[in-house]
Amino acid sequence: MKRQPIAVDRWVTHMAADEVEEGDTVIGVLPLHAAAKVCEKGAIFLALSIELTEEQRGRELSLQDLESIRCSLRRFDVRAM
């Protein structure tokens, strides 16, 4: 992310949903219930979209790995039912 031309106001290692406000953009990998809370507050949720092989699962991927599989940020609107 830090190498991308995206302005970031704040970096966090753990997101607290109560700190998210309407109009915010949250970028990250979140469990579905947390992503739903972000969307319920009127914030935008962008997740890293990655197509992994079985071999790549469960291990850290380098920047080179991520670039080679053409990962991207995708907007999701998550709603709990």
- The domains of the chain are located at 17-76
The predicted model scores a pTM of 0.79
* Per-residue model confidence as pLDDT tens digits over 17-75: 889 999 999 998 899 999 999 999 999 999 988 888 888 888 888 888 888 887 888 99
User: What pLDDT is stored for residue 34 in this prediction?
Assistant: 94
- Locate the DSSP E strands across the chain: 25-27, 44-49, 72-76
User: What pLDDT is stored for residue 15 in this prediction?
Assistant: 84
Give 11's Cβ-side CA count (13 Å radius): 4
- Listed in sequence order, the DSSP H helices in 1-81 are 32-40, 63-68
